[in-house]
Amino acid sequence: MQVLFNKNFLSQQECAQLNSWVEEGVEAKWLDAGLSRNPSWSYQDRVTTRNYGDRFEYPEVVYKIFARITDFLSLHDLPKSVVGGGKDGVVVSCTFPGGDVYPHRDPMEQEFHVLRCNIMTQAADDGAELFIGGHKIDIEVGELHCYLPSYAEHYVTEVKGSTPRIMWMFGYQTTPERFAQIKV
């Protein structure tokens, strides 16, 4: 499974700004219960914006980052992710200590795969390792990493320590052939 990377895509200041929004969002319930191994949206160890877009507005910086990703990867021809895509194609998750992301594939969007261009803005103290297609993928704060989560099973191991892991996901619809053409 191909994973594309670009180190230092976001500055420390941008990460801090996004993390501040998440901290406020957790308190205000803009991020709420996630989905886990059971089929209900009741998992409290990982909260998300996925189903709760009617509760908030993203700050302008989020849309500027989405546009920067679109320009950087030349994705102007791709529609935004809408099925499970959160608000305006953006999903945020905050995984607390003890939480994880269970092994799964994201749903397809009709005949299209989902392309996620993700940026971790806060790393856990330990754990929280990303696996895609059975391979451990090392990611760093501020780094852009992109893959097809509807094509490959992926999961994140348990968050350890006292610091939550924060992930921003910017989504598009595409085909595997189009994804293979993307250059970083």
Cβ(112)–Cβ(75) under 8 Å? no
pLDDT of residue 133: 96
pLDDT digits (tens, 9 = 90+) for 86-134: 899 999 999 999 999 999 999 999 999 999 999 999 999 999 999 999 9
Domain positions in the chain are 4-180
Mean pLDDT, all residues of the chain: 95
Tell me the C-alpha distance between 147 and 174, whole Å: 11
Global pTM? 0.96
Top CATH class of 4-180 equals mainly beta
